[in-house]
Amino acid sequence: MRTSYLSGAILASAIIISACSGQTGVSPAPGAQHLASVASHASGSSDFDSCPADRVYVADYAKSDVEIYPQGVNAPAPCGKIAKGVDFPEAVYVDAKGRVYVSNYPVATVTEYVGGSEKLSISLAGPAFDLFVGANSILYVAETSSDQVAEYKAGATAPYQTLAINGEPFGVATDSHNDLYVAYLSNSDSLSHVEKFKPKATTGTDLGFTVGFSGEVKLDSANDVIIGDRNTSTVYVYPPGSKTPSRSFQPAGRPVFFALDNSETNFYVSIQGQVQIIDYATGNGVATISNGLISPSGVALSPPAPY
């Protein structure tokens, strides 16, 4: 039987919040039909004047919003948030143009926001767990319950291509060559694999290593593959072409969602109740973000890392 996997977010917290507000359910099932485009009737925006240009975006599953924080501050208070169209969010991503994307997995939508504001520009239908925008402006959406990755051209409301995956994709990212990497829980051996797809390809190549149960996958500027194992709370870094990690480090919780800052100095990982900031070179913790968070899931940086 197919299981719905939540991130580090605590489902019980969401149930408690729903009960306190008089709601009878946590969320609709994946596959619910939603808007294709809402650009013509977006209901206003917020400029977040108190937020600096360098920001941290944290999706909070229980609060159904995205909290915004300044970078470079230990234990910062939020300086803004995005709530319109956000409904039990899993992943969040910011592209090079400052557009913010949120995957609302339980209600099967992806919402896009202009310039880091609450101005909702597009809403896509699909059971998205993770998402990523490549240098080619293609939006890649990991549709976990459908065993596929959907690819959208900029501004499109329907995918131009889907990739069939032999399992549940939990992570998508591209490298400096615009090759796509998909981390998925295999139907064959119940382990997490990473498959690499050349641009426009519909079949990929398995990289030859596994972890117990991954979440997201990311690439650094050296095209090292960064993947976490939520079973052992370990992050592994694999050099290009290697089946053996060059190093590993352990956050203080399960590494389902994570991101590098633009300088690739700091590694932000969402764990229970907080975002831990880790020195990417040494693996040592340097700071945390917890103010205003209940059940953090996805985390993203603006500006994004350069891959």
Mean pLDDT of 39-65: 73
pLDDT level of residue 120 (50, 70, 90 thresholds): confident
Residue 285 located in a structural domain: yes
Instruction: Look at residue 26 and tell me whether its pLDDT is greater than 60.
Output: no
Residue 279 located in a structural domain: yes
Report the distance separating Cα 245 and Cα 266, nearest Å: 19
Residue 219 has φ and ψ, to the nearest 5°, of: -120, 140
- Look up the domain containing 109 and give its range: 11-302
Residue 1 located in a structural domain: no
Instruction: Look at residue 29 and tell me whether its pLDDT is greater than 50.
Output: no
Residue 175 has φ and ψ, to the nearest 5°, of: -105, -170
Residue 32 located in a structural domain: yes
Report the distance separating Cα 68 and Cα 296, nearest Å: 12
Per residue in 243-292, pLDDT (tens digit) is 999 999 999 999 999 999 999 999 999 999 999 999 999 999 999 999 99
Distances from the Cα of 299 to the Cα of 71, 111, 131, 146, 243, angstroms:
12, 15, 12, 23, 27
Q: Work out how many domains the chain is built from and give that number.
A: 1
Residue 146: both structure tokens together:
């459908």
Residue 47: predicted pLDDT: 53
Residue 272 located in a structural domain: yes
Q: How many CA atoms lie within 13 A of 167 on its CB side?
A: 20
Q: Which of 26, 214, 184 is nearest to 106 (CA)?
A: 26
Instruction: Look at residue 28 and tell me whether its pLDDT is greater than 60.
Output: no
3-state secondary structure at position 39: helix
For the chain, percent of residues with pLDDT exceeding 70: 84
Report the distance separating Cα 21 and Cα 105, nearest Å: 21
H helix or E strand, kind and range, residue 15: helix 11-20
Residue 5 located in a structural domain: no
Per residue in 134-177, pLDDT (tens digit) is 988 999 999 999 999 999 998 899 999 999 999 999 999 999 99
Please tell me the pTM assigned to this model. Answer: 0.85
Read off the CATH number of the domain in which 258 is found: 2.120.10.30
CA 305 to chain centre: 14
Strands 161-164 and 80-82: unpaired
Residue 116: predicted pLDDT: 64
3-state secondary structure at position 48: coil
Residue 8: predicted pLDDT: 41
Per residue in 198-240, pLDDT (tens digit) is 998 999 999 999 999 999 999 999 999 999 999 999 999 999 9
Residue 3 located in a structural domain: no
Residue 283 located in a structural domain: yes
